[in-house]
Homo-oligomer: A and B are copies of this chain.
Amino acid sequence: MSNDDLLHFEDLDPGQVFPLGPKHVTADEIIGFAMEFDAQPMHLDAEAGRNSILGGLAASGWHTCSMMMRMMADSYLLRMAAEGAPGIDYVKWKKPVLAGDVLSGETRVLDSRQSKSRPGIGIVSFRHELRNQRGETVLESENPIMLRLRSPEEARP
């Protein structure tokens, strides 16, 4: 993909929506992530999960975030002139993500502004939401992403 084909800062407007998923979450994926990063019993074992307040074999919250990142990459981020993110405003893990769940949702553009400190870079705020196959929201998050300007020479002062 040439640079011209990428979505740049100027191509994004508040209210724009990108779909996320669907993503089928398997027990093997949950356990694999947990063994590497978050070996709490409810992320490793179905019975331990049922005995926890999560109610079943449940994905680590960081795994759900990472799966969301993959859905973002597949939906839009890999065709954007993105330069990373300075952080995450918040994440709410509203319901457990259990083995067998199918996640989908969307990212919405909230607002955008040019960076004061980095010429040629704009900062776009995104709001992400994921729901399970019952329509229950499992994750909400907002975060800013840095995008290159298509025409930095026309940047507003």
From A66, A85, A89, name the one whose CB has the most chain B CB atoms within 10 angstroms.
A66
Number of interface residues of A (CB under 8 A): 39
A84-97 contact mask (Cβ, 8 Å, vs B): 1 or 0: 11111111110010
CB distance from A37 to the nearest CB of B (A): 4
For the residues of A in contact with B, the DSSP-based class is mixed
A17 neighbours in B (Cβ, 8 Å): none
Q: Are B90 and A87 in contact (CB under 8 A)?
A: yes
Q: Which stretch of A8-16, A69-77, A104-112, A129-137 is in the interface?
A: A69-77
Does A38 interact with chain B (Cβ within 8 Å)?
A: yes
Does A36 interact with chain B (Cβ within 8 Å)?
A: yes
